[in-house]
Structures are given as structure tokens and as C-alpha cells.
Amino acid sequence: MRDPMSRVIIKLGGGMITDKSQYKHLKVECIEAVVTVIKDIIDSGHSVIVIHGAGSFGHIESRKWGLADGCNPDIEAEQDEAVTKVRSDMLELNRHVISAFEAQGIDAESLPPRNWAKGVGISFRGDLTAFVRGPSDAIPITFGDVVDIPGELKFGILSGDHIMVRMGIELPDVTACLFLLGDADGLMDGPPWEPGATLIEQWTATDAIHGSHDSDTDVTGGILLKAECASMIASSVEQVWLLNGHKPKRMLEVVLEGDAVGTKILN
């Protein structure tokens, strides 16, 4: 049985809550199903933090204009427009997520990284204290975002996975960090769409990984980045898992029982 006062951080993958191949295509039923289980986790006495990906609300436009690489003087005007658009689209996606929580009677607060973080990667600068809350407080919800970068780059993309690393390591009382995937039960020994691909039940950073990164749509590293980030968190957090977002009850199994179908990331 897990400590009932523990803090649980949940990453909703962009490919789970949206169709990454279609611009701004939301998977409403999937979001609602996940939020229903998160409510069960809250009701069991846990503090919850939610981070969500960008999916088709962010990756398509970001890739088109090279936002992950920072300012390009040759297309700076177009990039400035794209930054404004992606930030607006991310707030729209975030409102959908917030609304799903409110529909379940859960008070939630949006904390966009552009307002509290600068820089990209795990070394970004930002104050995380606003995310330290009790089980009865409003759930803080943040997301991968276009943030300011000091200097010539001007801007870049701060991945929700990198936010997850910092929170998992730095915030107090974190006992579980759960990465919800959109297309697999966890890490697989081959591409999940190929026949014969099987689940890797436990994984460490020294193990090989046969993942994929769709460079046509994903600008933040895909499953390879998630595994790397999860491994960094596992040095500080007992329960770090990659789970199937379409089987949300597995989150509750990890939180309450310490086990589920998925990939447990070991230090």
C-alpha cells in the first residue's frame, strides 16, 4: 500500500490526448477516461500534478517553422507568428484538459511554462514551488510549451518530459511518476505496431531500446526521450512507469499496489 499522502505526477502524452497526424484533433473520450481515474487517485488522498503534451496542437506548426531550434533570422517574422499561434493553440488544448477535470468536479489551475520558466532541457530555470499542493487544493496543470530563451535563440520548446524530470527529482514527497502513452502498454522490444512486439516489464538506462521517433510530427524526442527522462527520475522516485493511456486504471494499480501491466523504470 502506498503512502496516502504521497505526491503523484502524471504525464498525459500528446499522442494519447490528440491525433498527432491531424492538426488540433482532440481525443476527448481518452482524456475523460484518464481524468476519471485521476479523480480516484485524488480521492484516495494523494496530491496530483498533471503535465500534458502538445500533440497536434503544437508539434506540427513547431516543426514547420523550426521552433525547437530557436530564432532563425531568415524567417524570424514567420517564426514570431508561429510562436504566437502555437502558444495560443496550447492554451486551447490546456482549456480542454482543464474542462475535463472541472466536469468531474475537480478544481484545476493552469500554469503555462511561458509564465514561470526560461530555457529548455532539464536545466531550464523556473520556480516549481507553485506545484507543491495538498490533496484538497486545486490540481496544478502544465504542459510542453514555447518558452523564452535568453540570448540570440530568443525562444525554444520546453518539453513536458523535461518538466517531469525536474519535478520528480526536486519536489517533496513524490512517490510515483507515470508517463501515459498513446500507442503501447509501455516500452516494447520492437515497434508497437509490428506483430510479435512484446512488453518490456522492467527497464534501466543500460538496457537497449528499440523505439521510434517520428521526425515528421514530433519535435521533442518521442518514446526515446520519455525513457531517458524516466530513468533520471528513477534515481529519486520509487514508482516510475510507462503505461498505456488507454488503460487508465493501471495508474491506480501502480499508486495503490505498486504494480501494473506496463514498464517499470529502475534506477
Segment 232-258, tens digit of pLDDT? 999 999 999 999 999 999 999 999 999
pLDDT the model gives residue 185: 94
Whether the predicted pLDDT of 54 surpasses 70: yes
* 148 in a structural domain: yes
pLDDT the model gives residue 79: 98
C-alpha cell at 181: 502513452
Distance (Å, whole) CA 125 – CA 8:
22
Closest CA to 141 of 90, 184, 71, 214: 90
C-alpha cell at 48: 496530483
Average pLDDT over the chain, rounded to an integer: 92
* 96 in a structural domain: yes
* 1 in a structural domain: no
pLDDT the model gives residue 223: 80
pLDDT the model gives residue 181: 94
Inter-CA distances, 181 with 13, 222, 242, Å? 6, 10, 7
pLDDT the model gives residue 20: 82
* 45 in a structural domain: yes
* 138 in a structural domain: yes
Closest CA to 155 of 118, 127, 126, 111: 118
Across 148-153, average pLDDT: 96
Distance (Å, whole) CA 18 – CA 15:
5
Give the range of the structural domain holding residue 221, as residue numbers without chain letter. 7-265
pTM for the model: 0.93
For the stretch 181-228, pLDDT in tens is 998 999 988 888 888 889 999 999 888 766 554 444 445 557 888 899
pLDDT the model gives residue 21: 84
Whether the predicted pLDDT of 65 surpasses 90: yes
- pLDDT interval class at 16 (50, 70, 90): very high
Inter-CA distances, 55 with 37, 68, 159, 199, Å? 21, 14, 11, 24
C-alpha cell at 236: 529519486
CATH code, domain carrying 142: 3.40.1160.10
For the stretch 77-105, pLDDT in tens is 999 999 999 999 999 999 999 999 999 99
Number of domains in the chain: 1
* 2 in a structural domain: no
Across 159-174, average pLDDT: 97
Query: Among residues of the chain, what percentage have pLDDT more than 70?
Result: 93
Residue 28: count other Cβ atoms within 10 Å of its Cβ.
11
**CB within 8 Å of 208: residues ≥ 6 apart:** none
Across 116-142, average pLDDT: 97
